[in-house]
Amino acid sequence: MLERRVALVTGGSRGIGLGIVRSLLEEGLAVVLSGQRSAQDVQGVVDELRECWEDVLYVQADNSKVQDRQVLLDTVRKAWGRLDVLVNNAGVAPSVRADILDATEQSFDHLINVNLKGPYFLTQAAANWMIEQKRAQAERVCCVINVTSISADTASVNRGDYCLTKAALAMSSRLWSVRLAEYGINVYEIRPGIIATDMTSGVKDKYDALIEDGLLLQRRWGLPEDVGKAAAALVRGDFAYSTGQVIMVDGGFSISRL
């Protein structure tokens, strides 16, 4: 069994997830990252990470599928025999930004499965393993982080299904923080704002203009490393007495002002 702490980061091969992976590796953790792309498609990313850090594994997995979630945890167990940190980052946006008067059930079901059901039941399985570890070694420090979005409480009527999944994942964070508190397992939510990733590249011009006009207090796009630094602080234990809390990484978007 590896002596260092081990993290599993879903959706970790690009964007926010990759920013989190890099930050956790810099903290000295071993990391398993997962995604729906093939290992061949992400080999360049993995090779780049391994130039600096040895203990990196990639697993192709769709976290909405029970068998894939099991493969993820089995891989971590076989490779390192422990799991200290779960970061539920994997998520998808609707393929078509459709008004809620026109949006389809197919899109709704897909987003619910990937953005909500997947992390909910992956947390269930990972938490039971963490509980086993805590019982065997009480001083073990474990935590769960859910990555949501400002869409958890900001309505976008052309992405209603996305907003609903992020709002529900926010409640999931609260539920798990309550349930796991007796075992000393902290649960957090990181709520990013407008972050420069593949997912937001299609609306770059729109948000460039909004940011220039003062949408954010800090007039710049957020970066994956901004989210990664927040995750690292949580994993490091800087907020050990703050289970269940929401960490806003939004450039001041959520501050009400006149």
Q: Residue 219: inside a domain, yes or no? A: yes
Q: Residue 254: inside a domain, yes or no? A: no
**How does pLDDT run across 133-159, given as a tens digit for each residue?**
999 999 999 999 999 999 999 999 999
Q: Residue 255: inside a domain, yes or no? A: no
Q: Residue 240: inside a domain, yes or no? A: yes
Q: Residue 256: inside a domain, yes or no? A: no
Q: Residue 1: inside a domain, yes or no? A: no
pLDDT of 199 reads 82
Residue 19 sits in a domain whose CATH number is: 3.40.50.720
Task: State if pTM tops 0.75.
Answer: yes
Checking if the pLDDT of 227 tops 90, the result is yes
**How does pLDDT run across 204-220, given as a tens digit for each residue?**
999 999 999 999 999 99
Q: Residue 176: inside a domain, yes or no? A: yes
Domain range enclosing 37: 6-249
Q: Residue 131: inside a domain, yes or no? A: yes
If you average pLDDT over every residue of the chain, what do you get? 96
Number of domains in the chain: 1
**How does pLDDT run across 190-207, given as a tens digit for each residue?**
999 999 998 888 889 999
Angle between helix 118-136 and 66-80 (nearest 10): 30
